[in-house]
Amino acid sequence: MKKITKFKDQKVLVLGLARSGMAAALVLNELGAIVTVNDGKPFAENKEAQRLLEEGIKVITGSHPIDLLDEDFALMVKNPGIRYDNPMVERAEALHIPVITEVELAYLISEAPIIGITGTNGKTTTTTLIADMLNADGQSAKLSGNIGFPASEVADKAVSTDTLVMELSSFQLMGIETFRPKIAMITNLFSAHLDYHGSQEAYEAAKWRIQENMTADDYLILNFNQEKCRRLADQTKATVVPFSTKEQVAGAYAKEGNIYYHDELIMKVADLALPGEHNLENALAALAAAKLRGTKNEAIVEVLTTFAGVKHRLQYLGEVQGRKVYNDSKATNILATQKALSGFDNSKLWLLAGGLDRGNGFEALEKDLEGLKGMVVFGETAAKLEATAQKLNLTVMESENVATALQEIFPKTSVGDTILLSPACASWDQYKTFEERGDLFINTFEAIKSKKA
């Protein structure tokens, strides 16, 4: 960690704990700041606050008193999930107190170069692919950011020979000032988080901030499959490296069943471990970043031919008696399930879907469901999904949950079939998180596997 003096003896308010707030508070304390932490969870239930108090850091919990901001703070470090119309944030801005997120702090202290990945879909898979490629090549890559490892915590321990591979959300990017990755990437841009940003334009503007401090010495990887991303190429000072599955570009591309970087043949598309057009895009984006870091082709190919997927994100669980099983519990909306379905042969596919009923229908999914071997539906949306399946003359059955769905459908499948959990719905009708739903599915698969062995 760079021992910067910027925050020494400065009063800093960390608003919101969780892992990122905890990491920011500890780093700032180490840098000599006078840290106050404010979190809404009561102290008795707040293990993070209890630990910080033991470290000698001032903590105020259970509420967010506006008059706290009268203490002449020099900086606020805000949890990314806290909106900018929050009264505490609005008050800080009215007092001209700078408001940042902890990724800005991570950049300021990092001795290691940063690869920053943002976009609507594919961030986590692409981030993981890049780190795996670099590590397979003998480089030292550290996952960080929105992928579950607080950026400032990772940066605190990183050295100059490491590379921080950092997944970045639009929420995090709204709180940067000087943040400048050596390599940045926008995987794609679709409609998302409009409840937070207020408009698609504001959401995309937040994503675009990833490159605002970059120069021609830095690289910006853009998805040239999307016209809006192509147009952005003329609006940055960074050196643009495109990727595309549809045409030959001056970067990473797929052509006639092969994957290339510039004019160099890397591998065959058919050898990719992850199915689907979207995963081909993820592979190309990761390939471009890895090549810019000097990664050898052998390491890139090794990862792309063996990568089983990020847990709960089109994760390949394995094969039992000739049946392949995938866990895509992270598919909490129709678009995510559409992308998952695009990678399979429907005539051999059984889809497990259902979950929280948000009031929407599934008409948008009908084209993607055509020709399915069958469906198992569960949760609050079971009846809606069953009606959709019947409309398409698909074999369909209703089950209690993801565990019983897998147990009940497995005997009805044949050698060569694939079973895919891709719910197209949030999990909150039956589970606390999509991870809990996915873990139950994984455990059920492992139980079936052990019985059939």
Positive or negative, the CA dihedral 121, 125, 127, 130 is: negative
Reference 115, options 298, 307, 300, 290; nearest CA is 290
Q: Using one digit for the tens of pLDDT, what is the confidence trace for 43-61?
A: 999 999 999 999 999 999 9
Chain mean position to CA 114: 17
Annotated binding residues for ATP = 119-125
Write down the pLDDT at residue 335. 87
Backbone angles phi, psi at 138, to 5 degrees: 90, 0
Q: How far apart are CA 311 and CA 443, in angstroms?
A: 13
In sequence order, what are the beta bridge partners of 268? 258
What the chain holds in terms of domains, given with CATH numbers, is 11-100 (3.40.50.720), 103-306 (3.40.1190.10), 315-452 (3.90.190.20)
Are 195 and 160 in contact by the 8 Å Cβ rule? The answer is: no
Choose among 179, 152, 166: nearest CA to 21.
152
CA dihedral of 177, 183, 189, 192, whole degrees rounded to 10: -50
Please work out, in degrees rounded to the nearest 5, the angle formed at the alpha carbon of residue 373 by the alpha carbons of 372 and 375.
75
Asked if 19 and 150 touch (Cβ cutoff 8 Å), the reply is yes
Distance between CA atoms of residues 107 and 117, nearest Å: 14
Q: pLDDT at position 415, please?
A: 96
At residue 425, the pLDDT reads 95
62/74 Cα distance (integer angstroms): 23
Q: What is d(CA 24, CA 14) in angstroms, rounded to the nearest whole number?
A: 7
Residues 131-159: b if buried by 16+ CB within 10 A, e if exposed: bbbbbbbebebbbbbbbebbbbbbbbebe
First-to-last alpha carbon distance for the chain, in angstroms, is: 49
Q: How much is the pTM?
A: 0.84
Residues 35 and 14 sit within 8 Å (Cβ to Cβ) = yes
Distance CA 350, CA 375 (A): 5
Long-range Cβ contacts of 37-45 (<8 Å, 24+ apart): 37/13, 38/13, 38/14, 38/64, 38/65, 38/68, 38/88, 40/16, 40/64, 41/17
Any idea which residue has 């895509």 for tokens?
328
Binding residues: 119-125
Per-residue confidence (pLDDT) for residue 157, from 0 to 100: 96
How does the average pLDDT of the chain come out, rounded?
96
Look up residue 267 and give its amino acid: M
What's the pLDDT score for residue 311?
86
Tens-digit pLDDT profile for the chain (453 aa)? 998 999 999 999 999 998 999 999 999 999 999 999 999 999 999 999 999 999 999 999 999 999 999 999 999 999 998 999 999 999 999 999 999 999 999 999 999 999 999 999 889 999 999 999 999 999 999 999 999 899 999 999 999 999 999 999 999 999 999 999 999 999 999 887 888 898 999 999 999 999 999 999 999 999 999 999 999 999 999 999 999 999 999 999 999 999 999 999 999 999 999 888 889 999 999 999 999 999 999 999 999 999 988 889 889 999 999 999 999 999 999 988 998 998 899 999 999 999 999 899 999 999 999 999 999 999 999 999 999 999 999 999 999 999 999 999 999 999 999 999 999 999 999 999 999 999 999 999 999 999 986
